[in-house]
Chains A and B, each alone.
Chain A
Amino acid sequence: MKYQSQSIARLYFIAAIALFIGQILFGVTMGLQYVWGDFLFPAIPFNVARMVHTNLLIVWLLFGFMGAAYYLIPEESERELFAPWLAKLMFWIFLVAGALTILGYLLVPYATLAEMTMDDLLPTMGREFLEQPTITKIGIVIVALAFLFNIGMTILTGRKTVINLVLLTGLTGLAVFFLFAFYVPDNLVLDKYFWWFVVHLWVEGVWELIMASMLAYVLIKVTGVDREVIEKWLYIIIAMALISGLVGTGHHFFWIGTPDYWQWLGSIFSALEPIPFFMMTLFAFNVVNKRRRNHPNKAAVLWALGTAVMAFLGAGVWGFLHTLAPVNFYTHGTQITAAHGHMAFYGAYVMVNLTVISYAMPIIRGKQANNERAQVIEMWSFWLMTVSMVFITLFLTGAGILQVYLQRYSEAPLPFIVVQEKLALFYWLREFAGLVFLVGLILYVYSFFAKGKEVEIVEDLDMKKAVTS
């Protein structure tokens, strides 16, 4: 580790992984509630389990992004972090606020939580994924501003690279677009616009910038390919992400009372949205193929390649599957959306966080890479989690297609709840795949503690050629 302040990332990574475990535990709980409705009722009702599952996902991904930023920005900027104490303080504030919010969801009824946190003064609660009490949202803004100040000052007073500037742009966008969460119009259609301005412009906009810069950083480190080559790719990827993603927001505006032109705009621009993900696959494959060193951290290389492929599959292909308005007319809000959501979040954002953690954690712990046994276990966890996520997606896709057919396409459409009973087989299969995912996650955590033979140092392929010729 080049700079001492990079070690702050460790706190964020540990919190991220702990919350990830919580997210998956609630995921498998909820998966069971799909087929066994009374499971853990009334202690943890389905709506609460779902809220905790999705909120934990968002919070741990944010912890991961912040940890990644605190790790890579000092190195890219060639200086210590501007205010390490601030990063530590914000970590504890964010963690305590996040934990209290989750406890609030679990321990008191949601309406009571709204009363307790004086939501009536500035009502922002009750919207999917943005269920946090207003006071928590204000806390998130404070943490985000302090975080941006810290990394912004580090970059502005240090070396400016494409990677740290793209990351800063993405993180600034993340903070700015979150402000729409504070505006809740009475008109439901208007409300949906502003809700998507947070949710969509995060995951299909600025988060892609964050993801691309994190991936580019790890690829420079593990492949030794020239920075200039990687930066050119990064420019094209982020340009395509913004061109397609911003107006692509329109694909959320179908059939909810918005003007018809959104069907054209949403269809055309979101049909372009797979392009940046496709380019990330091409980019990752290309730089790994041209690598100038065999980095001892094989697990990190695997995560990096896996991120590119799975993001293309989940966000690109599965997104395109139901994004055109005539298709979405049937598929809107069905299990096909859930299939896409699961694989896109895993492929793009979970995996890119795990890529950076896989690369950075051994270095923070004082070695270039984990020992061989730990890496083998980590790579097993990669395959278990990734393959099970592919199956979760396939089972949910199957459920979604059947749902569309029986509920919306058939000449004698069946009611929603009748159709849900017919999807039980898919839900059982999804639950089984979810349990395999949990096993993969347990192995992943175990890999941090596994002892074994230490790996050899970096092998520079160019030097090896020079020596042998």
Chain B
Amino acid sequence: MKQAQHTNEQLKNASNVALASLLNLTLLPVISFIYLLFIYKNTKPGQIDHYHAKLGIKLNLVAFAALFLVSALMILLGGFNSPWTWVYVISYFTIVHTIFIVIAVWALVRAWSGDKLTKN
């Protein structure tokens, strides 16, 4: 029903960008993000593929800040040679990284069915 509102091309693009977003967080960082930007440029506002491309870019930028900038700050403030720094950095990085992956997985299944991340 919902899929009838979107063209096959848009659905395919939406699925591809959601997958790229997930890959950027896992197996293929940077390259996937460049692909994401490329698709984003070729989409029109208001369409499902545009929505998922924008969501993927936002999600990955926030993930970058939350994972690398915050971790760098922890190392800077805690000191590279302090064991406590690594207690915080490794625990924090692992759990927060996983949370972003789980969000990206949900975004992917929503993109497959032509839906936005949330119902509203």
Contacts and interface: CB of A to CB of B under 8 A. Distances in A.
Nearest to A283: B109
A286 B112 contact: yes
Given A397-B91, A401-B86, A401-B90, A282 B105 contact: yes
Interface string B82-120: 011011101100110110001001101110110100000
Contact of A282 (B90, B91, B109, B115): B109
B1 interface: yes
B98 A285 contact: no
Contact of A289 (B83, B94, B109): B109
Contacts of A317: 94, 97-98
B91 A394 contact: yes
B111 to A, nearest CB: 10
A401 B91 contact: yes
Contacts of B1: 465
Which of A281, A321, A406 has the most CB atoms of chain B within a 10 A radius of its CB?
A281
Interface residues of A, number: 23
A199 interface: no
A290 B113 contact: yes
B20 to A, nearest CB: 15
A402 interface: yes
B22 to A, nearest CB: 9
28 contacts: A282-B105, A282-B108, A282-B109, A285-B105, A285-B109, A286-B109, A289-B109, A289-B110, A289-B113, A289-B115, A290-B113, A312-B98, A313-B98, A317-B94, A317-B97, A318-B94, A321-B94, A394-B91, A397-B91, A398-B87, A401-B83, A401-B86, A401-B87, A401-B90, A401-B91, A402-B84, A402-B87, A410-B83
B105 A281 contact: yes
A309 interface: yes
A182 interface: no
A405 interface: yes
B88 to A, nearest CB: 8
A312 to B, nearest CB: 8
A391 B85 CA distance: 18
Nearest to A398: B87
Nearest to B84: A402
Contacts of B97: 317
Interface in A379-398: 390, 394, 397-398
Interface in A18-63: none
Contacts of B83: 401-402, 405-406, 410
Given A317-B98, A402-B84, 11 more contacts: A286-B109, A289-B110, A289-B113, A289-B115, A390-B95, A397-B91, A398-B88, A401-B87, A402-B87, A405-B83, A406-B83
B11 to A, nearest CB: 14
A285 B111 CA distance: 12
Nearest to A426: B87
Contacts of A321: 94
Interface string A108-147: 0000000000000000000000000000000000000000
Interface in A304-338: 309, 312-313, 317-318, 321
Interface in B1-46: 1
Interface in A243-300: 278, 281-282, 285-286, 289-290
The 6 closest A-B pairs by CB, nearest first: A405-B83, A286-B109, A285-B109, A398-B87, A401-B87, A289-B109
